[in-house]
Structure 1
């Protein structure tokens, strides 16, 4: 039925384009609406009808409030079509077709002054697969008090769906007949498990107090859980307009900030320019450096072709200034955050939630960097990132004390891995952290190189609340659960980490490259190792937006842990937690920035990539 109605709607739309008859336009809208809201027909057909319904209204009747109804159906059906009855790789490929829909919907909601709808759609229509991964690992302590058997079945299905979701898709033409039969059997079991999961959710939501179990939280339920003196800011970047929504502790309603000076075109240009500079300075991995030596050589000549004249702005300085003037400064002024040239202990917290291509830009470092004066975000607040506002709220709401028997720091350095460059700085880095930890009476353990296997590392992650991984990393944008940390003996992937019960996980410092960078095709799906570690249970993660320099990483890590130890609760004894980790990273990167300066792209690209995720 949905398919036939969509075909009829397409016919009326084509006639309307050629004749301009209002009757044809009305009929096309009616058919698309009926198809989208029908309970019959495949969700994919209904989703396509909903998208066409919204587009037709946007183009020919942009003032119609029915646009909101059309987008409501589109976001709901996008969520429905990205279900657990598909392997993870399939889900991501499907999302490419609907990428940006939530941003477009939010843009329309802002036009109609429906900030509540914009926030709801940005939360529900982004990070869909990441949210499903976290839902499979939801703490069930409260539910167990009502029905222990229901929880046991829930956990069993969760593990089964996690395993099935990580299956990679191979070309059927390369399979034997037995392999094809086996794959089809697995698919049937997966679909059956997903349907049982849906039935189980219905039962759970019928339990008093669990009516909204695993559903996105309404915006008004998020506000009470915001951290004190903190602001969660989601920035929507769309072709038609750009806006920010601010949720602040103690504020009853979201604050809407239009951003007329910023645009999607600017954002894409900044992204392209930044990518070019990273290539020029060869930020490929932690072990690769470019010697900028005035004696000469090909590498030097390649870099100095882009050398600026005296007092001329560099490319990266221009990007950061543009982000500051058109985006970040207007937000800070509207929120009323004052410049605080003090220590990071006095600065307010901001959790940034960028959307679209803005996810690839370092908004935490936006500012003007000149020899005469410097003004930047770091002068106003301590920045963190979060995949969604709900992900942050979940961390705040479920904060609990760390048990003393697991409180501590496990660390490993992997200076060599098959197919990767040598990174000797990892050894220096872990040695310095271990010495610092033991001198301060902290429970700590370290393994270097071949002394540890991925399996041993996993065991240690269960025994220690915090981990520090100094190594190479490999990100798989197609199958995020295949993203991995490279060891001397093998590798440790996210899927394997997710299998463990990391109920006491607190802080993960990923001293590797590009652990906080997502997929360009799906910028709103948080396809990176940092988000994966949050899904695994860690409350906070230190990651990187691009390659870090091996010679700088040890100093950043040592300053980071020194700050944490200096601000540790003296009553905790040998206990350790990362509650001050965002401020610690702020402090450590400021130290590196002071040492390197801001007058060259080389120095800016060295300290900017360090980022903090989570609470």
Structure 2
């Protein structure tokens, strides 16, 4: 009977008939009963019946069949060891494993592994090894013991190696692929992943008709998906979808694995959407995920399928903005976490997915409870995850982002620090070639930028730019997240521009923001973020360049962002604030009252939509204060100035003591108090002023520019309220910070721009010292704060002879770094390159100063040390707040001369009127206007400044005494040397005048020895492309050459390269050509040559030896920019920096004939020597001759000036 039962069972396996299996069981039971207890084959009969029940389970899926199988098979293994003992144990192990898969009872899995292990110990049969490998891999999936996984892989390798002809070889290969994939998921070893793909492919090829084919296809799809996620190879991703689709087709509708196949397919479709942005893939992902969850039942894999579907819903929310999808994502991930027991290998990833969903919902709704939940679940995810788990970097990045968002809600710096730490570790753990590295770098850059915004540490800004750039470089051009990463790096560049003022950073910010908008679909919810940021950067550029078109673009773009932002969105207040700022800027440029009214209204809306305690509330209040102050200047309504003060107080109260924006808000409050006081309203109390002063002193984290403005505003207020000593101290501190504003890492042009906005500060600080009877202190303030860029360039020209004698190696290194810093600012990484050079420069400087006798190397001298350089008399002239001052520097102590009629506002008014008259293009009216305005200006200068000074230093008599004028601010635009009362003698009749920006510059011009030979260079252009002809230059070119042969370059031979090549050979140089000036950026000024401009920047970087005299008979060669008058940036100073001891230049354009006449007479009066020491006397004589010939046309003779010793 037993043999008949075995034959029927064998046939049933081929026919698939359940009734035949039942017949085999019936015959087997009858065989056992007939055999008796002592029958030698009883053990075999009993074990066979157990095997038949196991087969029946395959047909019915009923646990009762497994129970019966186990009962019979346990009898089989309980008997003494016989020839079939290993087989019986293997069958029993298989049955326990099957029951575990049905019930989830861990004890059954442990028993299965025990029996398989015992079977293998008896004989290394491929089937036993394969079963042992499958069971241990299964237990690893439940318990997470890596020893199980390693042993599973070892057993499966042995099964394949020993079972070349085993009918289950394909299954062993499939299981090996799955096990290797599991190990890859926990170790990140790419070798395991490649081997997993290879094993799955071999499983499919080994037996294409295998009933487990759907399993093999699914395994291959999963491994290819993982390899795409690790390498970014789209081919792997497309093949993964193909194999998952085949696996689904090969899976019967009722098979237990169908839900898993659907979930895997959905996950792979979602991944392809993440890479390509195709919405059809995302819809397929959700459809497959929904079907998987619907089929899940009570499967232990249900939690995985819930989690996968939740991620897909969250992804669709990120693309469409539908909040219902996000709520579903949270719900599904919560259910997945709840269904995952503690210690489960996938617990970490399910917690991390829930963290991400909570964080996303917080970002959209602003609900702090969600971000708190995100942090809690994120911490749990990391706590249950091994350090070597490849998912750990993603978990860390998620938690870091949650901390980042909570910081934005609460302002708690501890959260921001944790965000940086978590994201740093995430990046550190991510391989350089990992596709997710770009995403994690971008997130880290955001955290660094935020920390800069809170602490003011510039190193964070540099790191933000670095991370952002690398993230963009690693992101494929067609990647859907490229726009986000472009946006993030643009934000970092924008922020760094705000701190350092580098125009290259601003240009890159605009470029990257525009690319981000262009790369974002019109229906993408992220578009509003990109639009908001683009509008903001347009506004920044509008302020930098006074560009009304950029303001209009800022308003239009930001309005789109505001209109697309829901009323309850947490970022709406920020976008309203940005729009208010844009309307404010248009009001400042175009003076349209509608704009300032809109700015006030929008700022009010921003305040009302920002909750109390929110970190951005201070920002909205500060902008509201600014808008009210702007409207006060427009309407003079005291209601506006009162509202401005109230908003500024609230903004300051909402700003932490260590916040970088605190100084800017102190400035706003002080300005409001000043405006209210000037308007005749209530003055601030003594206590209010004292509080402001103490707070300015305490601010340390703010950018230098903001600290300067705060100190300036509070200092001015203190002086107005009768606190002169406090005013002096505050203004001095602000002045000391001026060099910090012109960041050395930025270009010369950027440094000019940063300094240009503080032109009145130095004058007020000088006035504060003079008011206290301290002319020496006033002089030191002037000396250390004017010509900052000029002083830096003088430092860069310091003679290194002494250093080279004692420390030649140090001198060589220092010269190399210095020369690199003096090179033109070319390339796209100017800021980074200059930062590296300045770091090296500072280290070398510290090293040099540590050497004996070199402790003062390159430190600025005191004014007393420079006093001998004054020669006869240097006069500092300053137009301050309400009145002016002059300080006379001679061999004795400095002398203060009050100038009560010299106010800064009058200087600005006269400079404006003179500029308008000089540039009036109308032939007759313009000429008459110039005659009148310049005559009136010279008379006012005499009465307000020059007359009172000369009454002290140069009594009436022959003009033999030298005076060097050192005007501050916009006084440098005016001809002090030609001042005269109407109808009477003036400065030309009392002194020989020269100009110097600082005492140090004058000392520098005297430091070089006069030229030993006169080598003349003459450059003359009658015709310059695009500019009016200068017919008199032909005759003018002969003047310097008379008796002094040299090189003449004229007309189309006057090229930039030829002139630069000729200058080093010349000791005297004469330029008769057009010059260009740029009042906003003086260093962009130039000489117009035949083939293009020769800019100030290139001239000033020359190092010419024995250069004696440069005569610049060109348009406005000594004219400085309005915003940069304290910096003395013009062609004359450029030629001085290049090495010329004496420079003749012009404050404004002269007509061609007058310029030629002046040059001819100048050279006729100069001695036939190599030295130009007589230059100031010759120029004085020429000016007097022109005055005698044209007494009523001072605009033709008052322009020429001398600079030098």
Superposition TM-score, scaled by structure 1 size: 0.81
Alignment of 1:432-581 (within 5 A): 432-434=1039-1041, 436-437=1042-1043, 442-565=1044-1167, 568=1168, 575-581=1169-1175
- What is residue 484 of structure 2 aligned with on the other side? none
C-alpha deviation, 1:21, in angstroms = 6.3
- What is residue 49 of structure 2 aligned with on the other side? none
Range with bigger deviation, 270-279 or 91-100: 270-279
Distance 1:418 1:336, change over 3 A: closer
Distance 1:314 1:557, change over 3 A: same
Which of 393, 402, 424 lines up with 2:1011 in the alignment?
402
**Equivalent residues of 2:1183, 2:1200 under 8 A apart:** yes
- What is residue 250 of structure 2 aligned with on the other side? none
C-alpha deviation, 1:471, in angstroms = 0.7
Alignment of 1:298-309 (within 5 A): 299-300=923-924, 302=925
Alpha-carbon displacement from aligned partner over 1:327-355 (angstroms, at most 9, x marks no partner): 21211111243321xxx6xx111111111
C-alpha deviation, 1:131, in angstroms = 1.8
C-alpha deviation, 1:411, in angstroms = 0.8
Alpha-carbon displacement from aligned partner over 1:352-393 (angstroms, at most 9, x marks no partner): 1111221111111111343xxx30111111111111122112
Range with bigger deviation, 495-504 or 528-537: 495-504
User: What is the CA–CA distance in structure 2 between the aligned matches of 1:590 and 1:56, rounded to whole Å?
Assistant: 45
- What is residue 1202 of structure 2 aligned with on the other side? 612
User: What is the CA–CA distance in structure 2 between the aligned matches of 1:6 and 1:426, rounded to whole Å?
Assistant: 54
Which of 141, 144, 157 lines up with 2:804 in the alignment?
144
Superposition TM-score, scaled by structure 2 size: 0.43
User: What is the CA–CA distance in structure 2 between the aligned matches of 1:5 and 1:420, rounded to whole Å?
Assistant: 50
Report the count of equivalent residues. Answer: 541
Which of 910, 914, 922 lines up with 1:270 in the alignment?
910
Residue 129 in 1 paired to residue 789 in 2? Answer: yes
Which of 986, 998, 1003 lines up with 1:393 in the alignment?
1003
C-alpha deviation, 1:42, in angstroms = 4.3
- What is residue 320 of structure 1 aligned with on the other side? 938
**Equivalent residues of 1:5, 1:34 under 8 A apart:** no
User: What is the CA–CA distance in structure 1 between the aligned matches of 2:1123 and 2:666, rounded to whole Å?
Assistant: 30
- What is residue 571 of structure 1 aligned with on the other side? none
Residue 254 in 1 paired to residue 914 in 2? Answer: no
Alignment of 1:145-160 (within 5 A): 145-160=805-820
Residue 162 in 1 paired to residue 805 in 2? Answer: no
Range with bigger deviation, 264-273 or 542-551: 264-273
**Equivalent residues of 1:232, 1:352 under 8 A apart:** yes
User: What is the CA–CA distance in structure 1 between the aligned matches of 2:1163 and 2:1112, rounded to whole Å?
Assistant: 13
Distance 1:306 1:131, change over 3 A: closer
Residue 595 in 1 paired to residue 1204 in 2? Answer: no
C-alpha deviation, 1:68, in angstroms = 2.6
Alignment of 1:79-90 (within 5 A): 79-90=739-750
Distance 1:20 1:420, change over 3 A: closer
User: What is the CA–CA distance in structure 2 between the aligned matches of 1:548 and 1:14, rounded to whole Å?
Assistant: 42
- What is residue 34 of structure 1 aligned with on the other side? 698
C-alpha deviation, 1:128, in angstroms = 1.4
**Equivalent residues of 1:409, 1:465 under 8 A apart:** yes
Alignment of 1:218-297 (within 5 A): 218-227=862-871, 230-248=872-890, 251-280=891-920, 282=921
Residue 383 in 1 paired to residue 1001 in 2? Answer: no
**Higher percent of residues as strand:** 1
C-alpha deviation, 1:413, in angstroms = 0.8
User: What is the CA–CA distance in structure 1 between the aligned matches of 2:928 and 2:809, rounded to whole Å?
Assistant: 68
Which of 954, 959, 963 lines up with 1:350 in the alignment?
963
**Equivalent residues of 1:362, 1:608 under 8 A apart:** yes
- What is residue 979 of structure 2 aligned with on the other side? 366
SS in structure 2 of the partner of residue 521 of structure 1:
helix
Distance 1:519 1:212, change over 3 A: same
Higher relative contact order (CA 8 A, sep 6+): 1
Alpha-carbon displacement from aligned partner over 1:567-612 (angstroms, at most 9, x marks no partner): x4xxxxxx5121111111111222222222x1x3xx2111111111
**Equivalent residues of 1:88, 1:479 under 8 A apart:** no
**Equivalent residues of 2:997, 2:1128 under 8 A apart:** yes
SS in structure 2 of the partner of residue 220 of structure 1:
helix
**Equivalent residues of 2:863, 2:999 under 8 A apart:** no
Range with bigger deviation, 315-324 or 459-468: 315-324
Distance 1:147 1:321, change over 3 A: same
User: What is the CA–CA distance in structure 2 between the aligned matches of 1:68 and 1:507, rounded to whole Å?
Assistant: 41
Alpha-carbon displacement from aligned partner over 1:194-214 (angstroms, at most 9, x marks no partner): 222222222333344443333
- Cα RMSD for the two superposed structures: 2.8
SS in structure 2 of the partner of residue 83 of structure 1:
coil
User: What is the CA–CA distance in structure 1 between the aligned matches of 2:885 and 2:966, rounded to whole Å?
Assistant: 12
SS in structure 1 of the partner of residue 1194 of structure 2:
helix
SS in structure 2 of the partner of residue 350 of structure 1:
strand
User: What is the CA–CA distance in structure 2 between the aligned matches of 1:215 and 1:24, rounded to whole Å?
Assistant: 39
User: What is the CA–CA distance in structure 1 between the aligned matches of 2:913 and 2:1020, rounded to whole Å?
Assistant: 33
